[in-house]
Structure 1
């Protein structure tokens, strides 16, 4: 059984797998570097993603290797010395680490917004922290730890009064492919996505939407296949941000996976995952040794700890006894755990997909109910403390 879809989705749709096989058998050449390759699907994939996010210009969909590269490109390409950034305790290390590095270079200041015990922030807290030199707000749309989804439409509407002075970056790594994202209502200047999670594409493909009025300093420069006579990077988007040979096979996977998602409809996916998480959480809530951090959510995530047991042991038991793949630890999002629990080892995360069956959920719940009855036998005598919990209070610029 596979309960680690928040890390990467499995299985991929049959139509995606077949398209990859056909590509290797029938195509050759390199995008924009040969006349023999049928590269039209690349622009068509931009169009599909633009419709999925409800943004106007497909040319402002930039392809990267994943959300990590997208977020680094935006953060490092946009921020300048003296800028102030507001972000949240729910962020992934793909946001935290670039910001911390820029901060250590004495370049920027950062304010971190706290969350509640389920990972939700108050949009009003963002507004309270805005300063004269605030240039960028960064918000993780859906927590990869708890599955809770932030009200980014409210945040976007609140920022309108600043007339575009403050830019808005939303990390949609967990939400794209799970729920509808309508940027005409959000007003985000950047939307960073990855392909291998709920978008059901291959690993190694991702991208971002960029407001056409914004120019970033590219993270890398080099060959674009066209305009080779220019000795500086072309200004036109997306060429400006897509140096080097593109991951055409990854883009092809999104071309087909988005069609598959549209055939299911995002409304149906969201509804199904809310039902599954609610059922799962309702059953676990009856277990007296379980501490649950998730509420009903459309991302399929249920996170918890069992009193007195290191979370990695729970994942080990699930793998050994049920052949179930899960995830334990801090999940590359260290700050959120400060507000969820006091366990320095993080938590257990079970993440479902649209294809997860009710029988699979019942099997896991039945197993965890038996584990709850035998906690005294398997508890650690004393939970070791090997390091301090990461804290936003230790890195915030006051």
Structure 2
């Protein structure tokens, strides 16, 4: 059984699998680098993504290898010496580590905003943290730990009164494909996405939307396949940020997965996952030894611990007895755990998809019920000593 969709979605739509197979059998050449290759699907995928996120121009969609690369391009390219950035306790290391790197290199100021015990960030705390030198606000749209979805629309709309002086970066890695992303309401200047999660593409493809009015230096320069007479990187987006051979196979997977998602609709996916998480949580709430960190959510994420049992041990039981794949630990988001109160070992995360069956959910619930009933005998282990956990409260600016 597969309960790790928040890491990488599985299974992929049959349309995606068929297209990938045909690609290896029929496609020749490399995008923009031969006269024999039909490259229309690259532009068409940009167009489909621009429609999917409701942004105006397909050329504002830049392809990268994943969200991590996208976030690095934006964070390291946009922030300058003395800038102030506001971000949250829910962020993934793909935001935290670039920010810490830029802080060392450019002496930026960072305000880290707390969340509640389910990972919700109050928009008032974001807005009240704004200073005269605030240049960027970064928010994780959906927590990969708890499944909590943030009110990015309210934040984006409230930032408009600053007349474009404060840019807004939203990490939609967990939400894109699960819920509707309407940037006409969010009004983000940057949207960072990955293809291998709920967008149902293959690993190694991602990208970002960039507001056409915003200019970033390219993260890397080199071959673009066109305008070879220029000795400097082309200025036009997306070429400016797409040096080297594109992952055409990855783009093709999104070309087809977006058709599948549009036929299914994100409303239907979100409704299905809300029902599944609601049912799952109701079953788990009846187990006295469980600590639950998730609320009903459209991302299909259920995070919990069984008191006295290290999370990795629970995943070992699930793998051995049910052949179930899930994820445990800090989940690449170290700060949120001190607010949901499960340090130092993190939690067990079960993450579902539209393809997860009710039978599978019931099997897992029954199994966890049995572990819960045996918890007292399983708890007789010594918790290992570990290194000191990083704390957001030790960062320079914390609200």
TM bucket, shorter chain: over 0.9
The answer on 1:229 being equivalent to 2:229 is: yes
The answer on 1:305 being equivalent to 2:311 is: no
The answer on 1:98 being equivalent to 2:125 is: no
- Which string of whole-angstrom CA distances, capped at 9 and with x for unpartnered residues, describes residues 123-151 of structure 1? 00011110111000000000000000000
Cα displacement (A) at 1:77: 0.8
The answer on 1:62 being equivalent to 2:76 is: no
Find the counterpart in structure 1 of residue 208 from structure 2.
Answer: 208
Cα displacement (A) at 1:380: 4.1
Find the counterpart in structure 2 of residue 250 from structure 1.
Answer: 250
SS in 2 for 1:35: coil
Summarize the alignment of residues 280-291 of structure 1 with structure 2, pairs less than 5 Å apart. 280-291=280-291
| Cα distance between partner residues in 1 of 2:218 and 2:392 | 29
- Which string of whole-angstrom CA distances, capped at 9 and with x for unpartnered residues, describes residues 257-286 of structure 1? 000011111110000000000000111011
TM-score by length of 2: 0.99
Find the counterpart in structure 2 of residue 341 from structure 1.
Answer: 341
| Cα distance between partner residues in 1 of 2:350 and 2:342 | 20
Query: Closer, same or farther in 2 for the Cα pair 1:351/1:342, shift >3 Å?
Result: closer
- Contact 2:311/2:346, CA 8 A, preserved across alignment: yes
- Which string of whole-angstrom CA distances, capped at 9 and with x for unpartnered residues, describes residues 322-348 of structure 1? 000000000000000010114311100
Query: Closer, same or farther in 2 for the Cα pair 1:380/1:222, shift >3 Å?
Result: farther
Find the counterpart in structure 1 of residue 156 from structure 2.
Answer: 156
- Which string of whole-angstrom CA distances, capped at 9 and with x for unpartnered residues, describes residues 69-110 of structure 1? 000000001110110000000000000000011112252110
| Cα distance between partner residues in 2 of 1:56 and 1:106 | 33
Find the counterpart in structure 1 of residue 186 from structure 2.
Answer: 186
Q: Which runs of 4+ in 1 moved over 4 A?
A: none
- Contact 2:80/2:106, CA 8 A, preserved across alignment: no
Cα displacement (A) at 1:217: 1.1
Summarize the alignment of residues 1-398 of structure 1 with structure 2, pairs less than 5 Å apart. 1-397=1-397
| Cα distance between partner residues in 2 of 1:295 and 1:38 | 46
- Contact 1:338/1:389, CA 8 A, preserved across alignment: no
| Cα distance between partner residues in 2 of 1:177 and 1:54 | 13
| Cα distance between partner residues in 2 of 1:236 and 1:164 | 21
Cα displacement (A) at 1:397: 3.4
- Which string of whole-angstrom CA distances, capped at 9 and with x for unpartnered residues, describes residues 46-68 of structure 1? 00000000000000000000000
SS in 2 for 1:41: helix
SS in 1 for 2:201: coil
> Which stretch of structure 1 is more off in the superposition, 194-203 or 341-350?
341-350
| Cα distance between partner residues in 2 of 1:188 and 1:380 | 50
| Cα distance between partner residues in 2 of 1:106 and 1:41 | 40
SS in 2 for 1:254: helix
Cα displacement (A) at 1:229: 1.1
Structure 2 residue runs without a partner (length 5+): none
RMSD over aligned Cα atoms? 0.8
- Contact 1:308/1:382, CA 8 A, preserved across alignment: no
Cα displacement (A) at 1:394: 1.5
- Contact 1:205/1:247, CA 8 A, preserved across alignment: yes
- Contact 1:61/1:210, CA 8 A, preserved across alignment: yes
Cα displacement (A) at 1:231: 1.1
Cα displacement (A) at 1:382: 3.3
| Cα distance between partner residues in 1 of 2:396 and 2:335 | 12
SS in 2 for 1:278: helix
| Cα distance between partner residues in 1 of 2:259 and 2:291 | 39
| Cα distance between partner residues in 2 of 1:387 and 1:304 | 22
Cα displacement (A) at 1:230: 1.0
| Cα distance between partner residues in 2 of 1:299 and 1:383 | 31
- Contact 1:338/1:390, CA 8 A, preserved across alignment: no
Query: Closer, same or farther in 2 for the Cα pair 1:331/1:380, shift >3 Å?
Result: farther
| Cα distance between partner residues in 2 of 1:267 and 1:342 | 32
| Cα distance between partner residues in 2 of 1:228 and 1:396 | 46
SS in 2 for 1:170: strand
| Cα distance between partner residues in 1 of 2:107 and 2:216 | 17
- Contact 2:138/2:170, CA 8 A, preserved across alignment: yes
- Contact 1:168/1:189, CA 8 A, preserved across alignment: yes
Structure 1 residue runs without a partner (length 5+): none
